[in-house]
Amino acid sequence: MEVYQIPANKVIMQHNMITSGRYDFTACQLDILFMLLACLEKGDDKDKEYDIHVQDIELITGRKWNYQQLREASQDIGSRMFEIETTEKYIQLWLFKSFTYHTGKGYFTVAINDKARPYFFELKNNFTRMQLKAVLSCSSKYAKRLYALACQWRSAGVVKMTISDLKEMLSLKDPKGKTKEQFERISEFQTKVLDIAKKQINEHTDVQFDYDLKKRGRSYELIVIYVDFKKEKQLTIDFNQSIEFQKAVRTVTAYGVSEDMAKLIAHKNYDEFLKLIEQMKKGKTAINDPAAFIVGVFQKKGVIPMKS
């Protein structure tokens, strides 16, 4: 049997709408998606179908794929709706058109839904780059999703969101409230989702992942995810933290920039930051990752040190 032999160090690119979209794929279904991403080539014909060899993933991960599990996963994936919501529209989408299993040959063929093709090929600057072996090596579906999210925000070093938004992204909470929320107790959400994901990401991937939960009043409402950025890390800077300075830091962090990086910007470059924000607002091209863009600008200026 001929094997495609996808290299273990293959880097795959995923549209940010898929990275942060709302959908509930099992770990096996996510692996099918990531293997498909590894097969894509720029300039592929719009009708091209893709052969995924079971042996490829076994060679990459050292883990056996159960053929029956695969068939059940692809059968069930047809009912798994993918939701994309922007300020302009709400889309319900199914990524795949068909799966064809070739009896006794160890591979199956995937056809992409025509409506989903833009989210596979029209990436432009709106994509997440991640390592195939890393994401396949995580066995938890939540670890796979959070690794992708961490890769999306890697250049910024931190991402802040409500716990509710994260749960909706992971399909643990229905935004319409029609189904019961999973892991309602914060301790259960930590032990069964966040801590397992943290352990697997830090052990099996190229990312260092950590998080903090923040309270508003008596309840935990926010999560801060740190990517390749130790949360206890403090940069020593010689300045007096005036009220104006603290306000400036809060303004910068509101764009998703980590507090330590925001302090570096606010220290002597706050006026420059405000000008940059005005340019971003007036720009004709939407910036999908404002924090990463801001950090990149001030890294080039030498304000924020480049990561080694």
**Mean pLDDT by 10-residue block, N- to C-terminus, for the chain (308 residues)?**
61 88 89 91 90 85 78 86 80 90 88 90 83 92 95 84 93 88 94 96 92 88 82 46 77 80 87 86 69 87 76
Whether residues 4 and 133 fall in one domain: yes
Last residue of a domain, which of 101, 120, 137?
Answer: 137
SS3 35: helix
- Reduce the DSSP state of residue 221 to 3 states and report it: strand
Q: What is the pLDDT of residue 236?
A: 45
Packed helices 259-268 and 290-300: angle between N→C axes, nearest 10 degrees: 50
CA–CA dist 279, 284 (Å, integer): 10
Looking up tokens 């925000």, which residue turns up?
A: 153
Which residues are paired to 52 by β-bridges? 108
Cα gap 129→16, rounded to integer Å = 10
Q: Answer whether residue 297 is part of any domain.
A: no
CA angle at 297 for the pair 261 and 151, rounded to the nearest 5° = 70
Domain boundaries, position 20: 1-137
218 and 279 fall within a common domain: no
The neighbour count for residue 179, using CB atoms within 10 Å, is 10
pLDDT at 8: 66
* Co-location of 114 and 181 in the same domain: no
- From the list 190, 197, 199, the residue with the least C-alpha distance to 163 is 190
167, part of any domain: yes
Residue 308 domain-assigned (yes or no): no
| Distance (Å, whole) CA 226 – CA 146 | 11
Whether residue 14 is found in the same domain as residue 108: yes
Tokens for 147?
Answer: 């690794």
Residues 6 and 106 in one domain: yes
Specify the pLDDT at position 307: 62
**Whether 116 and 100 share a structural domain:** yes
Residue 232 pLDDT: 44
Q: What is the pLDDT of residue 176?
A: 82
Same domain, 115 and 78: yes
Angle at alpha carbon of residue 157, lines to 151 and 163, rounded to 5° = 80
Residue 132, token pair as written in the block: 């195939």
88, 109, 137 - which closes a domain: 137
In a domain, 299, yes or no: no
| Rounded Cα gap, residues 89 and 307, in angstroms | 37
Report yes or no on 66 lying in a domain. Answer: yes
Q: Please check whether residue 275 lies inside any domain of the structure.
A: yes
Would you give the distance in Å from CA 52 to the centre of its chain?
23
Residues 58 and 89 reside in one and the same domain: yes
Q: Contact at 8 Å (CB) between 293 and 279? A: no
Handedness of CA 276, 278, 280, 282 (dihedral sign): negative
Q: Report how far residue 230's alpha carbon sits from residue 178's, in angstroms, rounded to the nearest whole number.
A: 38
Q: Give the type of residue at 167.
A: K
The pLDDT value given to residue 234: 43
Output the CA–CA distances (angstroms, integers) from residue 123 to 97, 112, 126, 286, in the order listed: 20, 16, 5, 14
- Distance of alpha carbon 20 from alpha carbon 297, whole angstroms: 24
Q: How far is CA 90 from the centre of its chain?
A: 20
In the chain, the number of structural domains is 3
145 inside domain: yes
